[in-house]
Amino acid sequence: MKRSLKIKGAIEKCVASMKKLTEEAEKRANFCLTTEEESEWTKLSSELTSLKNELKRAEELENFGFENNNPSESSNPNESSNQRLLNPDLHRSLFKDTGDFIRTVCKAGMTGTINDDRLLRVATGMNESSPLAGGFLVGNDLATKLEQEANSKSVIANLCWNVPVTGNSNGINWKLPDETSRVTGSRNGGIRVYPVAEAGDITASTTKFREIEIKLSKHAGACYLTEEMLEDSSALESLLIKMFGEEFSWQRDNQILFGTGVGMPLGIMNVPDLLITVSKEVGQPAGTIVYENIDKMWERINAKYRSNAVWLINQDCERQLSRMAMVIGTGGIPVFSPASASAGSQLFGRPVITLEQSETCGTTGDIILGDFSQYIMIQKQEAMRSAWSIHVRFLNDEQVLKFVLRYGGQPFHSKKITAAKGSMTYSPFVALQTRS
């Protein structure tokens, strides 16, 4: 057991004893401790101060890799102290940059020996007999830059309801109001509000809940480093951040739309009970988008979600939209506002976002109207070394860099919602039927 955990246990006992003394005093009329209790309180207070100071020292040692100074209780008693990871962030001061660190590790991997003292201070082997067998942990600066790049490149993920997952949790498990209708008595799972006369009774309402569970799933990427890439360390770092940042963001956005929910987020296009798919017009030519399609899609998104809604389109839909008009008499007026110097493209007053991940024009998913604040996205948000597992490893003399990110997601609602008045159903996500 970690020494800090033992100290915390002692602190809890000490605090419990002090609490018991105060509870005894509260039973008396003067709320005061007796002389004997005062003496005990002073003793406990002094002990608590000492324990807190000792806990601080123990945690500092553990943060530097010396988790337990007692060899008999170590998880790896044969592991020497200079093989333990002291602090992955130290390499920022020991190496010129992340690229310089990677080149040094690669050199060690090719020679089979660690002959650079900086690696002993920064990296730890994942194998008792050979530190090189497991790799070297890359510091948090690269992970932070990668996350920033991924977030800056993300389009849909930044529009979602993002929930951080901390501690040892592997996801979230919530109970939410089960709302499938806006009819009185069904809103928010059955919450009711009544007019009440003076001194009248208030009628209680029963709320129906549903359970939502979102698990973190593991997403990894790796690349083989060539000699040319290793020559320029600063360029290598920039290249890795750009490549992996963009790819993580691309995949995450794609999964929010089309994810199967198995080992990845559940995409809105794979929740048929929630997604509304508007039918094409009778006789509508293949691969086209007409005004009636857009009008009917707008009609089916909940009014309360319209202010946050966006249109997601494939780039090959732009020509269709730019030529589309609402017919009035023998003429018509455009309904699509192309991007200008002061504003982006708009359709029915809402932003139009061109997205690579959208399906090609004419296929369901080529144009989607949605309020993505109604999509829950979770991501591990502890220290970067926990959220991103980054190692440089060597397989058959090949230099490999691996990145791992854990996240998950699914829509907030599970079903379409019936209107408060009328028989129409609505949803926060609407798509257009295939036109082929």
Domain ranges of the chain: 3-63, 89-135, 140-172+204-264+378-407, 277-377+413-432
Element containing residue 410 per DSSP (H, E):
strand 398-411
Query: Which pLDDT value is given to residue 322?
Result: 87
The token pair that represents 156 in the structure block: 């849909």
Element containing residue 411 per DSSP (H, E):
strand 398-411
CATH class of the domain comprising 277-377+413-432: alpha beta
Compute the half-sphere exposure of residue 390: CA atoms within 13 Å on the CB side of its CA. Answer: 22
pLDDT at 299 over 50: yes
The token pair that represents 304 in the structure block: 């309360």
Q: Which residue type is seen at 84?
A: R
The Cα–Cα gap between 377 and 217 comes to: 12
pLDDT at 298 over 50: yes
Q: Phi, psi at residue 161, to the nearest 5°?
A: -80, 100
Q: Which pTM does this prediction carry?
A: 0.69
Query: Which pLDDT value is given to residue 75?
Result: 43
The Cα–Cα gap between 391 and 400 comes to: 8
The Cα–Cα gap between 114 and 67 comes to: 23
Count Cβ neighbours within 10 Å for each residue of 118-151 and write b for 16 or more, e otherwise.
bbbebbbbeeeeebbebbbbbbbbbbebbbebbb
The Cα–Cα gap between 256 and 271 comes to: 11
For helices 233-258 and 140-153, angle between their N-to-C axes, nearest 10 degrees: 50
Query: Which pLDDT value is given to residue 280?
Result: 96
Q: Among the listed ranges 11-15, 21-25, 44-48, 413-417, which one has the minimum average pLDDT value? A: 21-25
